[in-house]
Amino acid sequence: MADKLHFELVSPERLLMSADADMVTVPGAEGDFGVMAGHAPFMTTLRPGVVDVQDGREETRLFVRGGFAEVNAEGLTLLAEHSVPLDELDSAALDQEIQNAQEDVDDAASDAARSRAEVKLNHLKQLRDAL
């Protein structure tokens, strides 16, 4: 039996996943990278994208919006600014949220309000692109 990689995905809200996997593909700031057991240690930043966790024939996909990745002798740890399993997203509800956020940007009364609304809109669009 091949060695497994211990993987943990942590967001500020909660521990989203702790599992052993064959391979994890991560959206790094300089491009996607795959990690398997025995990978050389390193650290990098994350860009918004999808993390693919493969264990045999089972695959789990999670969206992350920024953060850090650390690979060490114990495995791979992702510290994500925000993360959500893709299977928890409702496409129609997400499209409505994007429309509402765009209206908030268009109707913003100040630069500060517009900036906050644009951040939310960009996050929602990144989620939509991940589907």
Q: What is the mean pLDDT of residues 22-48?
A: 94
Selection from 74, 34, 72 nearest residue 50 by Cα: 34
Residue 1 confidence class, pLDDT cut points 50, 70, 90? very low
Measured between alpha carbons, how far is 50 from 131 in angstroms, rounded to an integer?
A: 9
How does pLDDT run across 90-108, given as a tens digit for each residue?
A: 888 888 889 998 999 999 9
